[in-house]
Structure 1
Amino acid sequence: MKKLSGFTEVDVPEQSGKCFIVTGANTGIGFEVTRVLAARGARVIMACRSEDKATQAIARIKQLSPTAELSFLPYDQGDIDSICEAANQLTKESRLDAIINNAGVMTPPLTRTKQGFELQFGVNHLGCFAFTALMLPKLAETAGSRVVVTSSFAHRSANIDWDDLNAEKSYDKTKRYAASKLANALFFFELDRRLRASGSSIVAVGCHPGFAATDLGRHLGALQILLPLTGILLNNAAKGAWPTLQAATAPVTPGGYYGPIGFGGIRGVSGESTRTERALDPELARRLWDVSVTMTGIDPGLSPCSI
């Protein structure tokens, strides 16, 4: 059977000698990304909250790839202290080829992170921002290393409520999720601009999984009954991982965005995807960067880009 035009896991090249960090690696898309990278010979550090779940995931992958080189890293993206400790542990690694920022939450009831941030903005964006910022010096040691940031097609309908980032005044879980995904898109856009302006060899790229059946939908309530259908009609977790794998391992455009290219960009093989004008707004991106530094207390140390 002729392969459809686009990127799938069979296109992932050999990764022997390389080391990847995958956040949220024990389930869903993170698990599938880890499975494929390990099968291609990469060492994968699984940054997860639960050691038990990570251990179970490692066992499942080793049944498929007995020689898989996998390790668990304690990591809670809703806790800046945990992020700092994980980053400190990773400085001991001999090399790091990519951070795959996969961990996230979707449409939970109003909840706060350990530092008091609204959970979706705090985990999906601020945690990703802080971890990436702390890891840039280590990434810089390996030429051509990458930062992969996971956004969503939900960013297309999003606006960021700059006057209520912490949901002190109101909370609409769907709008807050979309806003966090717009923040992800703005972050990798601005990160790419600043990296290139500084002459860094680190490549920042974005991806989105389309609509995939994963544990991320556990807060959808009664709508969860529809999730099994996505494996038939849309993407399952393995297919949803294809854009992430492309962003992490294939030839890419710095600052590029990758996602499904079938059925309106929500299913199928992966390729170059599109963003809204808002996600490419340099003023919004710069504003988010400055706000993120203030809220997390962590500064990536890259100068603003004038282009």
Structure 2
Amino acid sequence: MGKRLDGNIASAADRTIVITGGNSGIGRAAASMLAGMDARVVLAVRNLRKGRTAAQTIRGNVEVRHLDLADLSTVHDFAEEFSDPIDILINNAGIMAPPLGHTADGFESQFGTNHLVHFALTNLLLPQIRDRVVTVSSMAHRMGSIEFDDLNWERRTYKPMAAYGQSKLANLLFTSELQRRLTEVSSPIIATAAHPGLAATNLYRRQGNRLLASVAEAVIGLVSQSEQQGAVPTLCAATADIPGNSYVGPRGFKETMGQPKLVGRSAAAKDTEVARRLWTVSEELTGVEFPL
């Protein structure tokens, strides 16, 4: 059983925190909590209008910047335009089980959005980061595998949830390899990960299959926790006194809900050789390398 982290959310006062996808769901809940702790929160969002609407509902120091996680060019633009020091980067935004689609750069949409663009964003911003990088994964990482011969589902029959599992497994492998590299260069930055358990967010509404989305939303609504509760593991991963490569999730009923604790991960998520290979491939695909 992992270490319980009840109440282990440290102060975020006067810290600059960039969070992707902070205009809805767990991202907005986390942003609201962090702003309420007197942090300067930067919402990196695709839709500026929705981002500004969300910011108006949050009390505190909140900014909105454009970042489209389906387009690497906007990641470069964001990194070039945001020159301030960053205490914490939270790679939160993601999509779940849409029909087969591709990013502007030709990547399968889930692998591209959930992993590759966050990989590029982190490495581009890393020289400005002072404390830590948090990446939001999922229990679904346990159903994932990294298929290096077909990362973009060009040969296999596309399976939305399997593709989602691959992207969420990539998040954890990215976290572990990032931490290894940070340790190797004696950087004070740490990399952590979190998952929300089952939380009632709009992620399920974004699925292309309306019937599947409706069924999923109904079932999740019966057994899930709120967006605010689902955001607590992210806050712990961002502020608690925990070691690098920690993975935080809920402790109740098979990690679906409850107070946060350090949780385990699949054997595939602990494979250091796959993590290193995925890093190399991600550098090749995005053209962005580890900068430290």
Give the TM bin, normalised by the shorter chain. Answer: over 0.9
1:256–1:272 Cα contact (<8 Å) kept: yes
Query: Could you say which residue in structure 2 is the equivalent of 1:17?
Result: 14
What TM-score results when the alignment is normalised by the length of structure 1? 0.89
1:7–1:243 Cα contact (<8 Å) kept: no
Letter in 2 for 1:18: R
Structure 2 residue 55 is the aligned partner of structure 1 residue 58? yes
2:126–2:291 Cα contact (<8 Å) kept: no
1:230–1:236 Cα contact (<8 Å) kept: no
Query: Could you say which residue in structure 1 is the equivalent of 2:184?
Result: 197
SS in 2 for 1:213: coil
Alignment of 1:93-242 (within 5 A): 93=84, 95-139=85-129, 142=130, 145-170=131-156, 171-218=158-205, 219=207, 221-225=210-214, 226-228=216-218, 230-242=220-232
Query: Could you say which residue in structure 2 is the equivalent of 1:31?
Result: 28
Query: Could you say which residue in structure 1 is the equivalent of 2:75?
Result: 83
Q: CA deviation at 1:169?
A: 1.4
1:244–1:258 Cα contact (<8 Å) kept: yes
Structure 2 residue 45 is the aligned partner of structure 1 residue 48? yes
Distance 2:12 2:95 in 1: 29
What TM-score results when the alignment is normalised by the length of structure 2? 0.94
283, 286, 289: which is aligned to 1:296?
286
1:12–1:40 Cα contact (<8 Å) kept: no
Taking a change above 3 Å as real, the CA distance of residues 237 and 228 of structure 1, as seen in their structure-2 partners, is farther
SS in 2 for 1:241: helix
Letter in 1 for 2:66: P
Matched pairs, number: 286
Query: Cα RMSD (Å) of the superposition?
Result: 1.6
- Could you list the runs of 4 or more consecutive aligned residues of structure 1 that deviate by over 6 angstroms after TM superposition? none
Q: CA deviation at 1:234?
A: 2.0
1:7–1:242 Cα contact (<8 Å) kept: no
Distance 2:81 2:242 in 1: 29
Distance 1:175 1:118 in 2: 12
SS in 2 for 1:212: coil
Letter in 2 for 1:87: A
Q: CA deviation at 1:159?
A: 1.1
Percent of aligned pairs sharing the same letter: 40
2:248–2:262 Cα contact (<8 Å) kept: yes
Letter in 2 for 1:98: I
SS in 1 for 2:86: coil
Q: CA deviation at 1:301?
A: 3.4
Query: Could you say which residue in structure 1 is the equivalent of 2:244?
Result: 254
Distance 1:78 1:211 in 2: 25
Letter in 2 for 1:161: E
